[in-house]
A = this chain, B = another copy of it.
Amino acid sequence: MRRIVIIGFESAGLTAASAARMVDRTAEITVIERRPYAIYHPCGIPFAIGGEIKNIQKLIEPAPALPNVDVRTATEATVIDTSKKVVEVSSLKTSKRETLEYDSLILATGSYAFKPPIPGIELEGVHVVKTVEDGQAIIEALERTKNAVVVGAGPIGIETSAALRKRGLNVSVVEMLPSVLPGMLDPDMADPLTQRLRDKGIQVLCGRSLKEIRGEGNVKSVVAGEEELPAGLVIIAAGVKPEVKLAKEADIELGETGGVKVDDHLRTSAPDVYAAGDCAENFCPITKQPVLSQLATTAIRMGWVASTNAAGGDETYAGTLNTVVTCAYGLVVASTGVTTQVAKKAGFAPISARARVMSRPRYYPGAEPIIIKLLAKSDGHNLIGGQVLGTEGAAERANLLALAIQKGMTAEELAKIEYCHAPPVNDAIEPLVVAAEAMLRRL
């Protein structure tokens, strides 16, 4: 009977448990999770802060009913011995220690919110947006201040800025890079979102680095660039880092990104040890470079692959295009593949085109703009990136572009895809086709 141990029970760990259960019906599966509760949904936290989700406790769920999967919450894995193939675990409630033997081990330890090492980072009122407890603390802090500064304009930073603004705070969002959502969007595509945030009264400050947080006990202000911004609440949304302490201590190899290094079967350098999700290094099939993904959707796919292999199956992992979506004030922003900056850094000289298309025919009411940017290789015109903004259909169009990129499709082929049309739903020419045609006209 195969013994599978999974460390961590978020998207990767949960999927790994389900997959292992399906692939090997007799395996003994044990999940080790530090949290006192089983499942939670970190992506929901900004929307609990904003009040769309009325009760943040709704983000916590019991473990799903997986037959013969032993989920041990409030339990910490303290040591992995890859030669003896054992994991030492310790109950956070009773301090009881135990040694679990494994045939296959899956590291799904996730990530932690990065806090830049600057003065004042440990002041009261400085929060990250990672756990339900973080979210709860931010909600409680809403009463105590009128001014919030959000550091980082990635998806979490944008969503949290909008949430705090909805709750009536004066909000500034500070981004070191020149535009918002820098990992997702080229600067020209970021403009409509920046404008919408500003229209709603959010101060968007790009190209400024966080220098210092000031206060005594409680935070009083944030120094960003040359400016001092008053702040009773500071949100650090500067990204997450792979949680690799256990792996490192067990001499499991890390990659250059800091994530656990894995091969195409998500095997680590240690025999029968796999890694999946935020803790693992990923790779970009376009640039062939190692990357971090740190998306729930990536973790789900990786958890599936790692666990299928851990349970005796044979699945390969094809990397990630980091297909991602975020939204604020009804504007949905989605992207897949590489941005112009990433493409150039990887040695491509990408061609690009942008189209702004209305979501309905001009004769039908309620049309909203959809803005699409496509990137392709100058040689061969294979698509390598897509950025989509709109009130509807942006996520689904990014998903189609992800498939198109994976299939090696060219701009010429995208211009010929088959699609459907009805006036209340969309216009007679699909926006992705309009964007592809715009690219072809520029060749």
Q: Which residues of A pack against B, CB within 8 Å?
A: 11, 41, 43-44, 47, 52-53, 58-59, 155, 159, 295-297, 300-301, 318, 320-321, 323-327, 332, 334, 336, 361, 363-365, 392-400, 402-404, 406-407, 416-426, 428-430
Contacts and interface: CB of A to CB of B under 8 A. Distances in A.
B47 A424 contact: yes
A156 to B, nearest CB: 10
Contact of A418 (B321, B332, B422, B425): B321
The 9 closest A-B pairs by CB, nearest first: A396-B396, A325-B420, A58-B363, A399-B419, A402-B418, A323-B420, A325-B422, A400-B400, A395-B425
A420 B395 contact: yes
A400 B396 contact: yes
26 contacts: A47-B424, A52-B424, A53-B363, A53-B364, A58-B363, A295-B421, A296-B421, A301-B416, A301-B418, A320-B418, A325-B420, A325-B426, A332-B425, A336-B420, A392-B393, A393-B395, A393-B396, A395-B425, A395-B426, A396-B397, A396-B399, A396-B400, A398-B420, A399-B418, A399-B420, A399-B430
Nearest to A285: B418
Contacts of A297: 418-421, 428
A51 to B, nearest CB: 10
Given A52-B364, A424-B47, A417 B399 contact: yes
Nearest to A417: B403
Given A53-B364, A428-B297, A155 B422 contact: yes
Contacts of A326: 422
A335 to B, nearest CB: 8
Contacts of A334: 420
A85 to B, nearest CB: 30
Contact of A392 (B58, B392, B429): B392
A403 B418 contact: yes
A20 to B, nearest CB: 16
A301 B428 CA distance: 11
B363 A296 contact: no
A41 B363 contact: yes
A43 B421 contact: yes
A359 to B, nearest CB: 11
A325 to B, nearest CB: 4
A323 B392 CA distance: 20
Contacts of A41: 361, 363, 423, 428
A241 to B, nearest CB: 21
A314 to B, nearest CB: 13
A295, A392, A420 — most chain B CB neighbours (10 Å): A420
A255 to B, nearest CB: 21
A317 to B, nearest CB: 9
B398 A400 contact: no
A296 B363 CA distance: 16
Contacts of A407: 403, 407
Contacts of A332: 422, 425
Contact of A364 (B44, B403, B417): B44
Contacts of A428: 11, 41, 43, 296-297, 300
A41 B361 CA distance: 9
